[in-house]
Amino acid sequence: MDLTPLNKTYKRILVGVDDSDDAQLAFHYAINYAKENNVTLIIASIWESQDLNSYQALNHNFVNGSKEDVLNRLKIYKKYAEKQGVKNVITVTGEGHPGKQIVKKIIPETKADLLIIGSLSYKGFRKHLGTQAGYMSKFAPISVMVVR
């Protein structure tokens, strides 16, 4: 039996970002990998509309502001990655359950071949205890690197 590691080369790296420490660590790892290997970096952030309370969901200004906040943060992430030397940076967003959006929508649409994610969730990680990372690790049709 040959136990030689596969020399898999990734061309399109997808990183899921939020404001958690683990997601930031994953983001910086993805930047370094993309820069060192001259590959495309795809930065994804999901607007979690299901976490809104009734008042927020009915408040048009709050909903639009939240979506706009996600888009503005993605612009900042993109600018930072480019400043660090990544030549090809793409940003994408979705709405809903982060794990499902990334696995079922963003991976197929972007044709990513490696997903890099943090292990904890920003919004109440004690409640979810990494369920997003667990979901994506289990169901993603591509290789997944979970950063701690």
Here the CATH number for the domain that contains residue 78 is 3.40.50.620
Q: What is the pLDDT of residues 112-140, one digit of tens each?
A: 999 999 886 545 444 444 578 888 999 99
Q: What is the pLDDT of residue 114?
A: 97
- Single-letter residue type at 47: W
pLDDT for residue 57 is more than 90: no
In a domain, 5, yes or no: no
Rounded CA-CA distance 143/99 in Å is 14
26-30, 58-62, 71-75, 142-146: range with lowest mean pLDDT: 58-62
What's the domain range around 71? 12-147
Q: Other C-beta atoms within 10 Å of 115: how many? A: 28
Count of domains in the chain? 1
Rounded CA-CA distance 57/5 in Å is 49
In a domain, 56, yes or no: yes
Q: What is the pLDDT of residues 16-31, one digit of tens each?
A: 998 788 889 999 999 9
pLDDT for residue 142 is more than 70: yes
pTM listed for this prediction: 0.81
Q: What is the pLDDT of residue 64?
A: 38
In a domain, 52, yes or no: yes
Going 39 to 45 to 46 to 47, the CA torsion angle's sign is: negative
In a domain, 2, yes or no: no
In a domain, 4, yes or no: no
By CB atoms closer than 10 A (0-12, 13-18, 19+), residue 77 is buried
In a domain, 6, yes or no: no
pLDDT for residue 61 is more than 50: no
In a domain, 21, yes or no: yes
Rounded CA-CA distance 84/80 in Å is 6
